[in-house]
Amino acid sequence: MSTISRVEITHHQLPLDPVFPASWDTQPRTKFPATIVRVFDDEGNCGIGSGDAMYGFDDYQRYFIGQDPLDLDRHAAVLSNIEFHAGRPWPMDVALWDLAGKLRDEPIWKMVGGTSNRIRAYASSGVHRSVPEMVQVARQAIALGFPALKVRFGRPSLDEDLAVISAVRDAVGDQLELMVDCNQGWRMAWDTQRPWDVDHATVVAQRLEAESVYWMEEPLHRGDYDGMSELRERVNIR
């Protein structure tokens, strides 16, 4: 049986030119940060994960060194404990699963109980484009074979957001499933805008239902469980 011998963490910055005005970020992004985690066992096998920076994780690496890389339940418990104290180290999570999959010679989708090696993929928009631009994006998605497109909300007014959905639906009909990400579940650290309340979310949901939108993502703050329950009672959209 092999054991985990070391963890390597590297940080990278990819300059973005032009800048990326992400719909969920009030500050346009000039760079794309990525943290790469590599978990090695004593036989030279390596699992790789990528994601957020994992600041301070050096203090927790010792809880994995010398452990069985296949003991994923144990690792999950440790990661859950770390999450309480320092946030979830997702790249480490991914790297541990990747290493276990390589050792078992089994894809992760099978390890987690999946029954197919295929999954429907959708196209996603990350910026607020104009109506003509979004119509063009939708047509490109169809040409590339995507069955669905996700549109981001957050323009200066709700009417502008809804105009995009209406125009795309008119342009492509039922050739694409449409989804909407309302971006209300969380904020960037510096963004103090209040999230929608359930009444506003209801109005939006009803308008989206009229356009046969497949799902409505993040209509409320992530901790507003009562609001989510009430919204579910008021509307039929996913």
What is the amino acid identity at position 163? Answer: A
Rounded CA-CA distance 117/129 in Å is 33
3-state secondary structure of 180: strand
Per-residue pLDDT at 234 = 98
Residue 237 Cα distances to 102, 120, 211, angstroms: 40, 20, 11
**Domain-terminating residue out of 87, 111, 135:** 111
Q: Does the global pTM surpass 0.75?
A: yes
3-state secondary structure of 167: helix
Residue 202 Cα distances to 10, 156, 226, angstroms: 44, 19, 14
Domain count, the chain: 2
Both 100 and 26 in one domain: the answer is yes
pLDDT per residue, tens digit, the chain (238 aa), is: 899 999 999 999 999 999 999 999 999 999 999 999 999 999 999 999 999 999 889 999 999 999 999 999 999 999 999 999 999 999 999 999 999 999 999 999 999 999 999 999 999 999 999 999 999 999 999 999 999 999 999 999 999 999 999 999 999 999 999 999 999 999 999 999 999 999 999 999 999 999 999 999 999 999 999 999 999 999 999 9
Residue 181 lies in a domain: yes
Both 180 and 106 in one domain: the answer is no
What residues contact residue 139 under an 8 Å CB cut-off, 6+ apart? 171, 172
Residue 117 lies in a domain: no
Both 28 and 58 in one domain: the answer is yes
CATH code for the domain in which residue 23 is found? 3.30.390.10
Between vectors from CA 79 to CA 183 and to CA 184, what angle results, nearest 5°?
A: 10
Domain region containing 212? 123-234
What residues contact residue 58 under an 8 Å CB cut-off, 6+ apart? 9
Residue 118 lies in a domain: no
Both 69 and 164 in one domain: the answer is no
Residue 144 lies in a domain: yes
| Beta strands, E only, 105-171 | 123-124, 148-152
Both 85 and 36 in one domain: the answer is yes
Both 76 and 98 in one domain: the answer is yes
Rounded CA-CA distance 118/224 in Å is 34
Per-residue pLDDT at 65 = 98
Both 13 and 89 in one domain: the answer is yes
Q: Do residues 87 and 94 lie in contact, with contact meaning Cβ atoms separated by under 8 Å? A: no
User: 74-112 in b/e burial notation, b at 16+ Cβ within 10 A?
Assistant: ebeebbeebeeeeeebbbbbbbbbbbbbbbeeeeeeeee
Residue 53 lies in a domain: yes
CATH code for the domain in which residue 228 is found? 3.20.20.120
Both 78 and 134 in one domain: the answer is no
Tokens (6 digits) for 221: 């703050």
Both 18 and 96 in one domain: the answer is yes
Residue 222 lies in a domain: yes
Both 20 and 96 in one domain: the answer is yes
